[in-house]
Structure 1
C-alpha cells in the first residue's frame, strides 16, 4: 500500500468539507421520507447533518472539527447508547447514504468506494452493538482514522 505524502486522504479525495456536507444533507433528506429511518431520527437537532459531515470528515483524514466542537468519540458514542438500532435500520442507513453519495457525485472509483463503504459497514455494525440495551461499549477511544486500506487510489503520472 502506498502511504506517503503524495497519496491524498479519503477526505481530500471525496472533495473535502463541501462534498461531505452535500452528502449528509442529501442523506437526511432521504431519511425524512423513509419509513424505516424517519422514526429513528425524528426530533433530531437542526445541525445534525452538519455534525455527521464533520464526523465523517475527521474519520476520513480531514480536520478534527468534530472533536473540537462536539467532544469526539465519547459524544458520538453517547448519541447511540440505548437506542436499540436494528439490523434492518443499519442496512437501510447504508443503502440511503450510498444512494446519497451517488446523488451528490462523491467519487465512484472502486478504491474510494471500497474504503468509504468499509468504514460505513464497520461504523454501523459498531453502532448496532453499542446501542443494544445490554451493551458494554469501550469508552475513551479516539475518533477512528480511516484510510485506503490495501487499494490506494490510482493517480496517473
Structure 2
C-alpha cells in the first residue's frame, strides 16, 4: 500500500495543496489574521515539507527547517481560537477540492482528518504561552489509519 504522502502526489502534490490552502486562508477575513504579522516567502514550501514528513514521506522538514517544538511554539500562546480553527479547516477542505480531490475519495477524508486533528490538538494545545511547549517534541506521523504510534 502506498503512503498518504505518495497518494497525495508526493512533495509536488502537497506543495500544490499548500499553495491552494494559503490562497484560501489569505482570502478569509478571520484566518488571515494569523498571518497579519507577516509570513515567510517560502511558507507553502515549508508547509508542504512538513506535511510530507507527517504523511509518510521523507524527513524534509526536520532536515531543512527545524523541529516540531519550534512549529508548535510558533502556533502557541494565542489563547483559544475555535472559530479560526473551524474556518482554517474549511479552507483546507476547499483547498482539497481546488487540487482536484473529491469529498467521496478516501484520500480526501484522510487528509481532512489529519488537518482537523493537527489544527485542533497539536497546534492548539498550548494556548496560554509558547513557553509551555516542551523541548524535543516528535513530529507526529499520520497514516491511512490515523495517528501513528511514535514507537512503531
Shorter-normalised TM range = 0.7 to 0.9
Q: Distance in 2 between matches of 1:40 and 1:134?
A: 16
Q: Which residue of 1 aligns with 2:13?
A: 19
Can you give the 5+ residue segments of structure 2 that lack an aligned partner in the other structure?
Answer: 147-152
* Alignment: residue pair count: 143
Can you give the 5+ residue segments of structure 1 that lack an aligned partner in the other structure?
Answer: 1-6, 151-157
1:16-95 matched pairs, under 5 angstroms = 16-42=10-36, 43-84=38-79, 86-95=81-90
TM-score (norm 2): 0.85
Write the deviation string for residues 89-121 of structure 1: whole angstroms up to 9, x where unpaired: 001010001101111124655422232122112
Equivalent residues of 1:119, 1:146 under 8 A apart: yes
Aligned to 1:45, the other structure's residue is in SS state coil
Q: Compare CA radii of gyration and give the structure with the larger one.
A: 1
Equivalent residues of 1:9, 1:61 under 8 A apart: yes
TM-score (norm 1): 0.82
Q: Select the residue among 131, 137, 143 that pairs with 2:139.
A: 143
Write the deviation string for residues 25-52 of structure 1: whole angstroms up to 9, x where unpaired: 1111112221101111121111111111
- Relative contact order: is structure 1 or structure 2 higher (C-alpha 8 Å, sep ≥ 6)? 1
